[in-house]
Amino acid sequence: MTKDLTQGSPMRLILGFTLSTLLGLLFQQLYNVVDTMIVGKLLGSQALAAVGSTGSVNFLVIGFCTGVCSGFAIPVAQRMGSGEHSKMRQCVANAAWLSAGFALVLTAATALLCRTILVLMKTPADIFQDAYLYIFIIFLGIPATFLYNLLAGVARSLGDSRTPVYFLALSSVLNIALDAGFILLFHTGVAGAALATVISQLVSGVACFFYMRKKFPILHMSRTERAFDPHTAKVLCRMGLPMGLQYSITAIGSIVLQSAVNTLGSTAVASVTAGQKVSLFFCCPFDAMGATMATYCGQNVGAMKLDRLARGVRDCALLGLVYSLLALGIAALFAPQLVMLFLDAREPGAVQVTDLAARFLLINTAFYFPLSLVNIVRFSIQGMGFSTLALLAGVLEMLARTGVGQFLVPAFGYTAACFASPAAWICADLFLIPACAGCVNHLRKVYMVQKTLTKSPRGEQGDFREKRRLTSPPPVR
């Protein structure tokens, strides 16, 4: 059930792992796509705008949960690569303890504050109540989000990109059935779409837990390995919190931008929502490449095979370029037809919403290669163990989106909003690319020092402090 990414052709390993991960992400996006299609087609553009107006705050919180779980998985991958299976199991157990605590605190806090957040975001009055119902239910499902994402991250860290796919497929089918039942049969409106998402993810997470418990003997733990360990928890938080904060900081810029779009009216909100939903589906390969590179770099750093890092990043960037050109061609030919998947052509104003959404989609796809580099390079840096540097890239993305939302959208309107994400991607790349090269060079220096210290007659005990000083953060220990 596990796979070693430290041996063999990097291109072949990355492509195979990415394709498996991509399939899972496509199912994950199917959650959002089905919700949006049913809401837009059956409940109208105002309901679609209500769901769309919560997208940035949803990303702020759910993105934090996903990022934390991804960060927790990096020490697991590093210890898997180094062959320290007992320490790997200890990391998994402590990640579960930490996830339970984070889930409890976040669920309580967001449930209490979501109405206030929507007010601060200047959510239009005609969609406010639906927006509140939708996001309140989504926030109540935070424990289910943690459960699935932690298990999926652990499975990928062990080299298994297929197991998460199986249960996302199950969840997607269940989500479609529940969407239809809640909205068509029980007339629950947008609340039904949110309930369908939460229930489906909970079922997926529980099923994944029992499956992994049976099929992954490498994760069978002793009582000592299951116990909470402050040192291990500190290592996990050092990786997980920066990754979670990276998503949240990026989302702050999205919230500022969404607030600016909200002032343009519900037509603009519905247009951005429809364009974003198609764009998110297109972006699944980039997310898959990022998840792949986190595992690939984590295992290779754990095994100290540093010569494979730069080659892996280059090979994955080539895949990103090829797919970016393909996506641009599809958007140029079919943008209006794609956004119409989320709209009702018979509704008044549908033509205007379609034109605006197609413009948003086309502008964003024109800058997909910078986005591919953001995901590939940022997750590679995180897999190497330098999560704080990746966090700084999130700050740059936030500043770019905030600048566009605060100054350009009020001056230039909807078209400026279309260029907000491309500006954020380019700003992040200007930092991430040289930072990645610096991380690889740093690890090479550390590796040479460790080889020298290992051969030294003084032994490791006398040189331990020097080794820790030179390794920041330490790749494995």
Handedness of CA 103, 114, 57, 164 (dihedral sign): positive
Q: Reply yes or no on whether the pLDDT at 468 is more than 50.
A: no
Overall average pLDDT of the 274-300 stretch: 88
CA distances from 100 to 95, 103, 105, 143, 432 (A): 9, 5, 9, 7, 32
d(CA 42, CA 26): 23
C-alpha 389 chain-centroid distance: 17
Report residue 154 as tokens.
């652990």
Where is mean pLDDT largest: 34-43, 155-164, 251-260, 345-354?
Answer: 155-164
What was the pLDDT predicted at 474? 42
Q: Reply yes or no on whether the pLDDT at 225 is more than 90.
A: yes
pLDDT category, 424, cuts 50, 70, 90?
Answer: very high
Tell me if 243 sits within 8 A of 382, measured CB to CB: yes
Closest listed residue to residue 291, CA positions, set 422, 106, 102, 161: 161
pLDDT category, 473, cuts 50, 70, 90?
Answer: very low
User: What stretches of 366-419 show up as alpha helix (H) in DSSP?
Assistant: 368-384, 387-403, 409-412, 414-418
What was the pLDDT predicted at 350? 79
DSSP 344: -
pLDDT category, 453, cuts 50, 70, 90?
Answer: low
Overall average pLDDT of the 291-314 stretch: 90
Overall average pLDDT of the 285-309 stretch: 90
Handedness of CA 379, 382, 387, 393 (dihedral sign): negative
Place of tokens 């095979």: 305
Report domain extents, the chain. 10-470
Tell me if 64 sits within 8 A of 203, measured CB to CB: no
Contact residues for 312 (Cβ-Cβ < 8 A; gap 6+): 10, 14, 293, 296, 297, 300, 380
Overall average pLDDT of the 455-469 stretch: 43
Phi-psi region of 83 (alpha: psi -120 to 50; beta: other; left: phi over 0): left
d(CA 282, CA 368): 9
What DSSP letter does each residue of 165-232 carry, written as one string?
Answer: HHHHHHHHHHHHHHHHIIIIIS--THHHHHHHHHHHHHHHHHHHHHHHHHH-GGG---HHHHS--HHH
d(CA 191, CA 183): 9
Convert the pLDDT of each residue in 29-49 to its tens digit.
766 666 667 777 777 778 877
Overall average pLDDT of the 400-415 stretch: 90
What was the pLDDT predicted at 41? 72
Looking at per-residue pLDDT, the higher value among 141 and 189 belongs to: 141
Q: Reply yes or no on whether the pLDDT at 461 is more than 50.
A: no
Overall average pLDDT of the 181-186 stretch: 85
pLDDT category, 328, cuts 50, 70, 90?
Answer: very high
